[in-house]
Amino acid sequence: MEILRTKLDVKSRLNQVRNSQKIIGFVPTMGALHEGHLTLIDNAKLNSDLVIASIFVNPTQFNNKDDFEKYPITIEKDLDLLKQKGVDFVFLPAVEELYASKSIVKFDFGYLDKTLEGVFRPGHFSGVGLVVSKLLNIVKPHKSFFGQKDLQQVAVIKRLVEELEFDVRVITVPTVRELDGLAMSSRNVRLSIEGRAKSTILYQSLTFAKDELLAGKEWFIIQEQVKSNFQNISTCSLEYFELVDTNSLEPKNNLDKASGLSICIAAYVEDVRLIDNLEII
């Protein structure tokens, strides 16, 4: 496994690969790797000739300074895991390498970044769009792999790729969960033992709502029940719990079988913000 720290290194090494007609698979990460990330790597290896991962905690997508400062950094462990998985290259840039000066470019994804996460994290998806654009321009992969847990992020990136005509195929990989259903996330390590036990309410809420919807219950009644459940658990607070069109993210209030639907949730457990989603149909 070769570690590349500059844009020039990445372009130089991968140009050699392209000349040999090999398919390049790319997995961008912010580090603090867990089994969810490694599943992305596995998918990349199955669908590519060569795999490059990146580790970069992108400052422009954090609208909360404390969240940025508390984001776990485990570089040595991450590199060891990637090496064990047989990753060919790791792009490990410094902030100054990707942001030589303060960025003034902003992205507006229309409705896609005005709902769900966009309401509570203004500017977040502009930062995501900026760093993903940079990475795709530098790496120029044939395929790039993202987790379904970040449903809205995937929708934003697909729109970005479509509108800016990046020559890359975006592949979505199903969410990887702990045995109790909690979606794997780098933020999970910040939970106390008590908080970790309480965090299962997110997945329980999603599965409860799915079962109730499929049984013919009204969405607004289900939604109110979930809100009530959160109010009864200390140190847990619900930010949103919404039924949406999986692709457009437009809100729905019934089980419309003509289109794909997902339930999306964001909540605080202790001071840790967690998100998840579950596809219905």
| Binding site feature residues for ATP | 30-37, 147-150, 176, 184-187
- Alpha carbons 82 and 40: distance in angstroms, whole number: 11
Mention every residue, 6+ apart, whose C-beta is less than 8 A from residue 272: 187, 188, 190, 191, 195
Q: Is 37 a catalytic residue?
A: yes
| Packing angle of the helix pair 151-164, 124-139 (nearest 10 deg) | 50
Residue list, annotated binding site: 30-37, 61, 147-150, 153, 176, 184-187
Strand 89-91, strand 2-4: pairing: parallel
Instruction: List the binding residues for beta-alanine.
Output: 61
How distant, in Å, are the alpha carbons of 48, 138, 139 from that of 13?
16, 11, 10
Q: Please name the residues in contact with 204: beta carbons below 8 A apart, sequence gap of 6 or more.
A: 181
Task: Give dist(CA 126, CA 216) in Å, integer.
Answer: 38
Q: Which of 4, 28, 29, 37 is catalytic?
A: 37
List active site positions: 37
